[in-house]
């Protein structure tokens, strides 16, 4: 025990300030995002002037800087000397239902509502009268908006609020990692949310290298990481979709590996090794934060992969692929058992395409023979681990729901 604790106090030869390398750290200046920040601010200017502005929708893959940029804009808006403009930043991973979002917003601005326990109608009416008091404009940022379970209801309520409010209004900034999530939404929600949309493109390897260099200067000790290692980490992350978070994770993990070896500098070997770990870790995170029904589809695939499928011998080699149609059936019965209405098979096929794009599954079209043409699907990561992960998430969500 004492020996294990001794490690805690051993100086790292690699890290200077680990928190700078964390994905939660927001640097003072975000590189390559001036244009995006300016566009968000431009879109919100009418709202800040007290006019009811247009809603904004921001999307782009994970790690493209959406959260960092919007948080920076939120901070700037909070500093503005305009009393009638208020802003709430909501992380929908935490506040994942209409009720939770509305009580979070009310709690941000009306001290009495900071504690839980108010009914939804009470909260709604209070918010409206608070806005009307002096014609406020409330900007609501919904980060990772696609995780909200009853998003159509939430959007409907916010739209409805705008028509109930006599002076002032609510402007919504939706942020999503999920490029095509609007497919599953009510068309009315789509037209409300997508009044004004803004894409965050993935970073290329040069951009990632600059981001890493900038962070490394503060996060690592001098000479603990060299240019070759940074460039390699950047290139690997660029290949995986231009995700800055992945790039940071790779160098952090590589730093840990070097520390374990007791060396004073990261080499390209550690970077290569760390990249494998980081990719897998990120994949689990992505799965963990998928919207509910996509998670259930992945869950169905994981269960079927564990228990084996009778068609596995039909694929070449020993890898086990599962028939897409069977996964759909399994998904439907899982959804029903959780009292969630299953989505259509058309949407299911979209989910599958998206999961493949995110690298969570791989698929191929079978030739003729196996019940005509069909898609065969395989998980890219360990099914047992994925099953466990999703079960934890489902239990957590269903166990703590307030309304």
Ligand X SMILES: Nc1ncnc2c1ncn2[C@@H]1O[C@H](COP(=O)(O)OP(=O)(O)O)[C@@H](O)[C@H]1O
Q: What are the residues binding ligand X (CB under 6 A)?
A: 23, 25-27, 30-33, 60, 62-68, 177, 211, 244-245, 248
Q: Distance of alpha carbon 280 from its chain centroid, rounded? A: 16
In the list ligand X, Mg ion, none, the entry touching 169 (Cβ below 5 to 8 angstroms by class) is none
Q: CB 66 → Mg ion: shortest distance, Å?
A: 5
**Calpha distance 107→22 (Å, rounded):** 28
Query: Which segment (27-35, 66-74, 125-133, 213-221) binds Mg ion by CB under 5 A?
Result: 66-74
Cβ partners under 8 Å of residue 210, min gap 6: 31, 32
Q: CB 284 → ligand X: shortest distance, Å?
A: 15
67: contact with Mg ion by CB under 5 A: yes
Q: CB 203 → ligand X: shortest distance, Å?
A: 7
In the list ligand X, Mg ion, none, the entry touching 32 (Cβ below 5 to 8 angstroms by class) is ligand X
72: contact with Mg ion by CB under 5 A: no
Q: Which is nearer to ligand X, 138 or 246 (CB)?
A: 246
Q: Which is nearer to ligand X, 66 or 149 (CB)?
A: 66
- Secondary structure of residue 28 in the 3-state scheme: coil
- Secondary structure of residue 363 in the 3-state scheme: strand
Q: Which is nearer to Mg ion, 103 or 177 (CB)?
A: 177
Q: Which is nearer to Mg ion, 14 or 140 (CB)?
A: 140
In the list ligand X, Mg ion, none, the entry touching 98 (Cβ below 5 to 8 angstroms by class) is none
Q: CB 30 → Mg ion: shortest distance, Å?
A: 13
In the list ligand X, Mg ion, none, the entry touching 25 (Cβ below 5 to 8 angstroms by class) is ligand X
**Calpha distance 42→309 (Å, rounded):** 54
Measure Cα distances from 134 to 162, 168, 169, 368 in Å.
15, 8, 11, 68
Q: Which is nearer to ligand X, 200 or 321 (CB)?
A: 200
Q: Is 179 exposed, middle or buried (0-12, 13-18, 19+ CB in 10 A)?
A: middle
Do 136 and 85 form a contact (C-beta atoms < 8 A)?
yes
Residue nearest to ligand X (CB): 65
Estimate the share of the chain in helix, then strand, then coil, as percent rounded to the nearest 5: 55, 10, 35
**Calpha distance 355→345 (Å, rounded):** 15
Please report which helix (H) or strand (E) contains residue 175, including its range.
Answer: strand 169-176
Q: CB 69 → Mg ion: shortest distance, Å?
A: 10
Cβ partners under 8 Å of residue 148, min gap 6: 92, 95, 96, 97, 98, 101, 142, 154
57 half-sphere exposure, CB direction, 13 A CA radius = 20
Gyration radius of the chain's alpha carbons: 24
Query: Which segment (62-70, 92-100, 243-251, 292-300) binds Mg ion by CB under 5 A?
Result: 62-70
Query: Which segment (63-71, 77-85, 108-116, 395-403) binds Mg ion by CB under 5 A?
Result: 63-71
Q: CB 179 → ligand X: shortest distance, Å?
A: 12
Q: CB 332 → ligand X: shortest distance, Å?
A: 31
Q: CB 126 → ligand X: shortest distance, Å?
A: 31
Q: Which is nearer to Mg ion, 137 or 140 (CB)?
A: 140
Q: Which is nearer to ligand X, 159 or 216 (CB)?
A: 216
Contacting residues toward Mg ion, per CB under 5 A: 67
């Amino acid at each position: 025990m004492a020996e294990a604790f001794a490690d805690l106090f051993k100086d790292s030869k690699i890290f200077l300030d680990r928190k700078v390398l964390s994905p939660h750290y927001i640097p003072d200046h975000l590189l390559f995002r001036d244009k995006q920040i300016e566009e968000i601010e431009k879109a919100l200017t009418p709202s800040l002037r007290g006019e009811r502005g247009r809603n904004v929708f921001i999307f782009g893959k994970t790690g493209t800087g959406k959260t960092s940029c919007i948080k920076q804009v939120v901070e700037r808006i909070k500093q503005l000397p305009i009393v009638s403009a208020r802003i709430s930043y909501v992380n929908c991973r935490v506040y994942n239902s209409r009720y939770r979002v509305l009580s979070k917003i009310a709690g941000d601005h009306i001290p009495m509502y900071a504690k839980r326990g108010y009914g939804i109608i009470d909260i709604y009416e209070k918010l409206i009268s608070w806005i009307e008091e002096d014609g406020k404009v409330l900007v609501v940022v919904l980060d990772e908006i696609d995780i909200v379970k009853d998003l159509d209801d939430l959007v409907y309520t916010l739209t409805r609020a705008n028509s109930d409010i006599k002076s002032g209004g609510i402007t919504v900034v939706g942020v999503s990692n999920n490029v095509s999530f609007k497919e599953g939404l009510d068309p009315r929600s789509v037209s409300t949310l997508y009044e004004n949309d803004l894409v965050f493109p993935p970073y290329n390897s040069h951009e990632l290298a600059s981001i890493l260099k900038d962070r490394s200067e503060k996060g690592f000790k001098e000479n603990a990481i060299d240019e070759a290692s940074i460039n390699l980490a950047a290139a690997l992350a660029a290949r995986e979709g231009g995700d800055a978070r992945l790039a940071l994770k790779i160098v952090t993990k590589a730093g840990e590996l070097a520390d374990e070896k007791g060396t004073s500098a990261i080499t390209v070997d550690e970077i290569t090794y760390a990249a494998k770990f980081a990719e897998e870790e990120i994949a689990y995170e992505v799965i963990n934060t998928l919207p509910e029904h996509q998670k259930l589809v992945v869950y169905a695939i994981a269960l079927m992969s564990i228990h084996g499928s009778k068609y596995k011998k039909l694929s070449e080699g020993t890898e086990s692929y599962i028939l897409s149609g069977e996964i759909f059936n399994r998904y439907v019965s899982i959804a029903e058992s959780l009292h969630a209405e299953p989505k259509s098979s058309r949407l299911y096929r979209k989910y599958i395409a998206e999961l493949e794009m995110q690298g969570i599954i791989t698929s191929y079209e079978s030739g003729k023979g196996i019940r005509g043409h069909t898609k065969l699907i395989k998980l890219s990561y360990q099914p047992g681990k994925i099953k466990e992960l999703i079960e934890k998430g489902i239990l957590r969500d269903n166990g703590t729901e307030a309304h």
